[in-house]
Structure 1
Amino acid sequence: MIQLNGLTKRYGATLAVDDLSFTVRPGLVTGFLGPNGAGKSTTMRMILGLDLPTSGTATVLGRAHHELPHPLRAVGSLLEAGAAHPRRTAYKHLLYLAQTNRLPASRVDEVLGLVGLADAAGRRAGEFSLGMGQRLGIAAALLGDPPVLLLDEPVNGLDPEGVLWIRTLIRGWAAEGRTVLLSSHLMSEMALTADRLVVIGKGRLIAEAEIGEFTKEFAGAGDTVLVRTPEAASFARRLELSGAHVQVGPDELLVTGMSAPDVGRLAAAEGVPLFELTPRRASLEEAFMELTRDAVEYGAAR
């Protein structure tokens, strides 16, 4: 378990993390979301003891990170894929980490095989592609077989096979009862991987919910029904009289507030020909954008 209580971090006049409190429970993948500059990386660094909080606490398994006798056996992390010394081989990088945490050398071979780098064990880290560097970072996180894992953008640089592999691996860790905190900007992957979400903006907690509840609550108008008909304008008026909200295009309608079966029944009753009737679920991306629109620090011009 990871527990944050009133965690705050100031850099001079800049308030990077502001009185942040939440719990990451075992057995679930917790997605950690926020716009650029929201304070996600700073928060993860404080959990790992790399940055000292200005106030508040961050504990792993009930202890501050520096109090853990063998940290890699308690918490594995991937914050920066390029953390390995470029002139050190993959095997030597992991071996030195194992030795500092009193782990057997045999564990190095195990994790290299697990992440698909067994054949590259003797290659220097500086020769690795971005995707191979990610795999080496994941191997380091798994080295101590820890009950807690923190991962920042783990799919960065991976090919489609690698993305599927890491998604399956992460889901498997949680199924084993491990605590997983996952940060990513890829909403499609987060929707497939996470069980619950913690969302921050400008250093403050702005939402914490199961992923289905989050999408339902924050996706603006919510689920819609796509309707294609040659009588779009007249059918839109009939839908609105029945209580639906309708966005009208040349030959299509986006309907909210009415289910697809009800739209179909109304069309049949009115004799309106339908070329398409498709329910569209609100997406995690739509929910995230709606929730964080006022918390974006670095936004593109519109």
Structure 2
Amino acid sequence: MIEAHGLTKRYGKTLAVDDLSFSVSPGKVTGFLGPNGAGKSTTMRMILGLDNPTAGHVRIAGKRYRELRHPLRTVGALLDAKWVHPNRSARSHLAWMAKSNRIPTRRVDEVLEAVGLTSVADRRAGGFSLGMSQRLGIAAALLGDPEVLLFDEPVNGLDPEGILWIRQFMQRLAREGRTVFVSSHLLSEMALTASELVVVGRGRLIAQSSTEEFVARASGSTVKVRSPQLDVLAKALRAEGAELTETDDHLLVSGMDSPRIGEIACQNAVVLHELSQQRGSLEEAFMSITGDAVEYHAGAEPDGTADTARALTTTAP
């Protein structure tokens, strides 16, 4: 388990992380989301003892990172897939890491097999593709068979097959009872991967909840209704206070749940062909909730000739 309490980090006049508290529980994949510059990487570095907090603290399995006698046996991390000497082989890179934490040498071959790198274990890591480097980074994180795992942008630059592999791998680790904390900008992928979310903006906590609750709270919901008697049903629903959006073949109803819509249809002898809940996407929810924490938004160019989607970047207050 990871527990952060009042984490604050200043770099001179810049406040990168501001009184941030959250927890990450075992047995599930927890996504760590926020616009660029929201403090995610700084937070992960503080969790791993690479940066010291200005205030507050964070504990892994009840201890600060520096208190862990053999840290790789408790926590594994992938922060930079290219963090490896280019002239070392994958096997030698993992072997010196194992030796530094008194991990049995046999574990090197076990993790190489787990991530599918056995056939290239003796090749120089500098010649690895990005996907292979990501796999090597995951192998290093797994080396000590840790109960806590942190991944920062693990699917960057990967093809669809590689993304699917990492998604399934992280979910399998969570099912084993491990704590899995993953940061990513690919919101569509996080919607498929993470069951819990920690969302930050300008270094502060915006939300911590299940992915489903986050989307429902931020985007609300509507009910799609199809019927051969839409006019009759629309009139009845409006009389009961529902808000409607009408199209040629269906209604979108807000302000009323499916059971009540069904009851009104029955009372008015209306035949229903579809009655389905419609929810927004994680991307829509994220944009809605983090809007105040983003410096640049999609909008018109200064000359008004085109709309552009600008990078999501955040500046500390």
Quickly name the TM-score band, shorter chain normalised. Answer: 0.7 to 0.9
* SS of alignment partner, residue 294 of structure 1: helix
CA distance in 2, matches of 1:50, 1:213: 33
Task: Answer with 222-231 or 20-29: which moved more.
Answer: 222-231
1:189-248 deviation digits (Å, cap 9, x = unpaired): 3223223221111100111112232222222xx222234679878865553333222234
Q: How many residues align?
A: 300
Alignment of structure 1 residues 166-185 onto 2, 5 Å: 166-185=166-185
Please say if 1:285 is aligned against 2:283.
Answer: yes
CA distance in 2, matches of 1:60, 1:82: 25
- Cα 1:67/1:261, change in 2 over 3 Å: closer
Equivalent AA in structure 2 for residue 256 of structure 1: S
1:133-170 deviation digits (Å, cap 9, x = unpaired): 11111111001100111111222233333333322222
CA distance in 2, matches of 1:211, 1:246: 27
Task: Answer with 105-114 or 83-92: which moved more.
Answer: 83-92
Match of 1:226 in 2: 224
Match of 2:115 in 1: 115
1:26-57 deviation digits (Å, cap 9, x = unpaired): 22322211111111111001111111211111
CA distance in 2, matches of 1:123, 1:300: 44
Please say if 1:245 is aligned against 2:227.
Answer: no
Match of 1:60 in 2: 60
TM-score by structure 2 length? 0.84
Tell me how far 1:99 sits from its aligned partner.
1.5
1:239-287 deviation digits (Å, cap 9, x = unpaired): 3333222234566542212345654665677688988654323332332
| Percent of aligned pairs with the same amino acid | 62
CA distance in 2, matches of 1:245, 1:176: 45
Tell me how far 1:130 sits from its aligned partner.
1.3
Alignment of structure 1 residues 199-214 onto 2, 5 Å: 199-214=199-214
TM-score by structure 1 length? 0.88
Alignment of structure 1 residues 127-146 onto 2, 5 Å: 127-146=127-146
Match of 1:151 in 2: 151
Match of 1:82 in 2: 82
- Cα 1:233/1:53, change in 2 over 3 Å: farther
* SS of alignment partner, residue 81 of structure 1: coil
* SS of alignment partner, residue 155 of structure 2: coil
CA distance in 1, matches of 2:156, 2:73: 25
- Cα 1:229/1:294, change in 2 over 3 Å: farther
CA distance in 1, matches of 2:85, 2:77: 17
CA distance in 2, matches of 1:223, 1:249: 17
Tell me how far 1:80 sits from its aligned partner.
1.1
Match of 2:125 in 1: 125
Match of 2:254 in 1: 256
- Cα 1:54/1:277, change in 2 over 3 Å: same
CA distance in 2, matches of 1:58, 1:150: 14
- Cα 1:298/1:66, change in 2 over 3 Å: farther
- Cα 1:146/1:275, change in 2 over 3 Å: same
Unaligned runs of 5+ in 2: 301-317
- In the alignment, is the contact (CA less than 8 A) between 2:216 and 2:279 conserved in 1? no
- In the alignment, is the contact (CA less than 8 A) between 1:231 and 1:251 conserved in 2? no
